A and B are shown apart, each in its own frame.
Chain A
Amino acid sequence: MKETQLIMGMPIVIEVVDPGVTQDLFTMVFDYFREVDTQFSTYKETSEISRINRGEIQENEYSEKMKEVLRFCEQTKKETNGYFDIHTPSGKLETSGLVKGWAIQNAANLIKEQGWKNYYVEAGGDIQFSGRNTQGEVWNVGIQNPFSQNKEVVKIVYLDNCGIATSGTYIRGQHIYNPHEKNKVLTEVASLTVIGPNVYEADRFATAAFAMGRKGIHFIEQLDGFEGYSIDEKGIATMTNGFEAYTQKPLT
């Protein structure tokens, strides 16, 4: 069973292939994403993060989830030499760089807690996988072509109980252009995909590594348990040493 809903301004896809799954599970998980959006969306005036940014809530009044997210953001900032920073110059907080991966991971945990084994949860191109697909095989996942609007795939990886996340300037990034060279990409790295032990870890390091430009893939190379695939503006991909192991289809 598979369902897509548009929440947090992006398509959220849940597929559970185990027999006997019901609509209730999907309702519960999509409700969870809506809850996260209500709390963390900087585009919602009434969200907790917006209220914090307007100075209406003091630090000791923050919800437990907010405290957790802010703690994770601080930790990630330290682990990425400051490349991951949620503080804007105006003194406001922008947690969206971490909340997406965190929410996907929590949603996947909800499904797991209900006893389901074979599923994936995707939000805006970042995905957590568990078990096997409908054919009983390891999930096969495409890395999107950063130069195409369509979901064109330029690499296929086989993922078993892990997470994948891609950072880049395309899709929304195309809003940023030189009026005279509308097709010119403003950054030298078009996209950077990270495979990690789970989507939360993959997402936060993909976000930070993308900010490092060409060095980002080397940052991923030195992280234990993470592999990456970086595509530059000329369509040349650079991969970490362990990445190719994911491109081989397992024999199971």
Chain B
Amino acid sequence: MLEAIREIEEKSGQKISACIQCGRCTATCPLAKFMDIPPRTTIFFLQIGQLEQVFASRGYWLCASCLSCGARCPKSIDYFKISDALRSIYLMTNKTEPITSPDNLPSELVKEAPQQLFISAFRKYTK
């Protein structure tokens, strides 16, 4: 367990134990209401070692990397880096890509949306 936390901390460059659970990240997160486990709670589960619950959740996949959480954290923790670390670890240790893959995109969307949409999503969601 400690090993796993250390890996998240190294990948993200953030100290999980430094979080004081104030909840500003969740309050400011534009996508929080769509998350089963929002930012503050995700960090809380990491702090108490409930890693399985975190990895099974959908919350960290819905981080849009808008960086608002980091801008408002009183402890200068960047949650958006933690969510990227969690995705990276999940994708490296599992065979599946649970959110989206290049194979199942509607052709109308591919035609009209900017490349930026697809490249961003695949960098965050695929191996």
Do A and B make up one complex? no
